Structure 1
């Protein structure tokens, strides 16, 4: 059957006797491509170099340098090479048991006879291996060997049917900031971490009488009887990971749904464990979280907010507040622009701050709809202010990492400002520093396109530690926005102030403006002004306010500008 397929497989013939090598070649060459090795060491090198194309190995046992037993043992200890079927060619009948234990699938006796029988056994071995591989390719994750998500859920379901015991725990765990491992250490290091974790998870499942799986990316699944010491389990799973990454710390987080409700589907049990796991995402001080009633209530609220979002946009329940920004470089502090902050005036839940729904919409892929709504509302408002006050107010709006992946993003934002009769320069686009590290190549392409259209790009939360200085110098940005965590603790001469001064120096060398957010006191204002900060925002000047209140600031700015002009004219006269 294999020989009839319109794809030629490759067989490795390992034989140090030229006559035997030639005989095997004559038997298989009509249906297979053939490569050769004549000793054990060369065999290992050949298998390593061609593991992706070798369909079967015909292996002699007696060879110089390294015998066939050693080759079999080497292959058996390698996750990839052990998948390649091996037929041992030998005259030593007594060696069969040992070879089978080392992973051989069949034997061909020497001297070779009955070529058609040998061909049939080769065809059958490849056919069985490819059939089994097809099943395993859907059942087992290719990298870790764990059950794939769907098969894990099926196995867990059938386990419940057969054992019907309560007291099962559903566990999900991840690696915090796993993408940084791939970026800083390389994808091979990331794969090694996943494989090491998977090996630990398999061992735990075996010891506890449970089931292990991979949910995707860096997510792992465990379904085990309750009563485990989960702190110790995390330590066991994390043991040795630092060694893989040259002593770099790996932070794991685990969500646990204890004593699961057997009346709900398995998938929903792990959804609850995932809620617990996500509740500590980015928190390096807490590694364990248990699903509880508080999380249940929050989950129910989140579900409601997700369901209410469409109507919220349609009915105009999302309102824009404007946080004023002031330029502090001149003799007089002048209104420079604003940052748009969205609030949700929910008809039943009242006024909701963005931290209640923005992260939720980001996690569920809904943020792009809300962001587009904000872009349009802000563009409309900026256009109205230009007409009403003859005053240009550039407003910063958020562009999330979800937006970056949206098709035709450049055209979408450009069309939005065009439809509202304002120039792209009136809408500054804020992208968080961490978003640049998620997929820096794609973001750089998109951002360059937006800048070519005339938009100014702000890097938000600068200084939170995700990007290297080398990366900063290559990123297309116009404004650096200092994270408020740096600003709130600054005092004359302290470490936080020195860090702020360093970041301002970096911005100056890059020829970009600096915005400091979260400025609340006169001391902070004075320190930032003396350090050369360009623009500040925060309660020192104004809290975020609705458009009607922001208009009063525009009117005040116009009055002060007019007074300056009149004073200048009077001085001339």
Structure 2
């Protein structure tokens, strides 16, 4: 191709990157259905810590793809699955794995804490969504208070009345509702006003290089104070430093999640972590 000068060379490199990504996405799409059947998608748990006690208070279930070529992280496939709709099947699969794990822990007499499961906004437009999730809760006889569904604040294009009804139906299952990546969109306050959320997760962008920023600190303080007045639990995610932990504790944040405390881990490691906390 023409690449004699920097400008045209840049086009060549861009096209090459785009072509490689297109090929990679086609490869993933060709394998995703079989991978689901083969149970190649696995669930890791990232603990959430109570800031007052600094003990594990729950966890978030995160999906990984254990392919024949190694572990594939969600950043490589989740956006694609959102675009092609496969995320609907994957989310349901992950939810069932979590329900099965909770049932196993209960049967073994283990300490069981609430588990948060990510749910794509596409589910909100699926009329079978609530009944399918409810059926799995019943199948595995999981106490609904041990489950939390996390949705991002970027809601699908639908009427407010429709979305409120969907959220009320979810709440009737008895599970908790969390709004993930709060502050990353443009409708945060309206969502808190109209939707029955129990937990608010502060987007990690507020912590990246901002603990020393007065503006960033004031934003986080305001969000936490507002949530307290609404009776909403606040979880800060992406926490990586001792300074962030100290600041969040000082302003009354309830829980934290991030590499400072623990990375996502397989279920057996999570079980081991909880066993040690009991001792």
Q: Same fold (TM over 0.5)?
A: yes
CA distance in 1: counterparts of 2:188 and 2:45, whole angstroms: 31
Q: Deviations over 1:73-107 (max 9, x none)?
A: xxxxxxxxxxxxxxxxxxxxxxxxxxxxxxxxxxx
Return the match for 1:488 from 208, 213, 217: 208
Q: Deviations over 1:509-563 (max 9, x none)?
A: 211100000111111001001110001010111011111111111102222xxxx
The answer (yes or no) to whether the contact 1:400–1:435 under 8 Å persists in 2 is no
Matched, 1:303 2:26: yes
Q: Which runs of 5+ in 2 are unaligned?
A: 1-10
SS at match of 1:435: coil
Structure 2 CA distance for partners of 1:540 and 1:546, relative to 1, 3 Å:
same
Return the match for 1:312 from 12, 19, 35: 35
Return the match for 1:344 from 62, 65, 81: 65
Matched, 1:379 2:99: yes
Return the match for 1:457 from 170, 177, 192: 177
Structure 2 CA distance for partners of 1:371 and 1:430, relative to 1, 3 Å:
same
Counterpart residue number, 1:466: 186
Aligned length, in residue pairs? 270
Structure 2 CA distance for partners of 1:470 and 1:297, relative to 1, 3 Å:
closer
Counterpart residue number, 2:131: 411
SS at match of 1:411: helix
Counterpart residue number, 2:225: 505
Matches within 5 A, 1:321-360: 321-329=44-52, 332-348=53-69, 350-360=70-80
Counterpart residue number, 1:533: 253
Q: Deviations over 1:306-363 (max 9, x none)?
A: 121111111111111111001113xx22211100110101113x21100100110000
Counterpart residue number, 2:272: 552
CA distance in 1: counterparts of 2:19 and 2:229, whole angstroms: 50
Counterpart residue number, 1:56: none
Counterpart residue number, 2:234: 514
SS at match of 2:49: strand
Structure 2 CA distance for partners of 1:530 and 1:395, relative to 1, 3 Å:
same
Q: Deviations over 1:490-524 (max 9, x none)?
A: 43562111110011011112111000001111110
CA distance in 2: counterparts of 1:405 and 1:336, whole angstroms: 31
Counterpart residue number, 1:447: 167
CA RMSD, aligned part only?
2.1
The answer (yes or no) to whether the contact 1:457–1:478 under 8 Å persists in 2 is yes
* TM-score (structure 1 length as normaliser): 0.45
Shift of 1:438: 6.0
Larger Rg: 1
Counterpart residue number, 1:234: none
Matches within 5 A, 1:45-194: none
Shift of 1:391: 1.6
* TM-score (structure 2 length as normaliser): 0.91
SS at match of 1:342: strand
SS at match of 2:239: coil
Q: Deviations over 1:383-406 (max 9, x none)?
A: 112222432221111111111111
CA distance in 2: counterparts of 1:371 and 1:491, whole angstroms: 34
SS at match of 2:60: strand
Structure 2 CA distance for partners of 1:296 and 1:479, relative to 1, 3 Å:
same
Q: Which runs of 5+ in 1 are unaligned?
A: 1-287, 560-573
